[in-house]
């Protein structure tokens, strides 16, 4: 049987016990380390990252020039989700659309 050590995210103490459940069923824990100020916490917060395949599809569409609205319609995703990936892309200097529009000071490459 696998045993998972539960540590308090604040004080790193193992002096932690189960403490009921969230309305969504997630297990709550409480830290019993007296000086700790955190007390109640969840082991796994319910953040579900988008599957890599979807993210890659968004990136592919962005690189092929699709805008947020087109990408959202094609992949049937909310525009907010597409926007998140576009914003991530812009951090890595891979902006969607024409990169020269975002860097007007750079000399334009000659076509052909």
CA 72 to chain CA centroid, nearest Å = 17
Q: Which is nearer to Zn ion, 29 or 86 (CB)?
A: 29
Shortest distance, position 27 Cβ to Zn ion, whole Å: 16
User: Which of 10, 27, 50, 69 lies at the binding interface for Zn ion (CB under 5 A)?
Assistant: 10
**Distance between CA atoms of residues 4 and 32, nearest Å:** 18
Q: Which is nearer to Zn ion, 10 or 60 (CB)?
A: 10
- Between the alpha carbon of residue 9 and those of residues 39, 40, 45, 65, the distances in Å are 10, 10, 12, 42
Residues lying near Zn ion in the complex (CB under 5 A): 8, 10-11, 13, 31, 33, 36, 38
């Amino acid at each position: 049987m696998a045993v998972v050590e539960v540590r308090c995210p604040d004080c790193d103490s193992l002096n932690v016990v189960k403490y009921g459940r969230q309305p969504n069923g997630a297990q709550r824990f409480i830290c019993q380390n007296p000086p700790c100020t955190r007390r109640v916490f969840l082991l796994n917060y319910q953040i579900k990252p988008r599957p890599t395949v979807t993210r890659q599809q968004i990136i592919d569409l962005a690189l092929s020039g699709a805008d947020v609205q087109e990408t959202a319609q094609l992949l049937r995703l909310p525009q907010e989700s597409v926007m998140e990936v576009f914003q991530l892309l812009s951090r890595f200097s891979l902006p969607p659309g024409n990169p020269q529009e975002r860097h007007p000071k750079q000399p334009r490459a000659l076509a052909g």
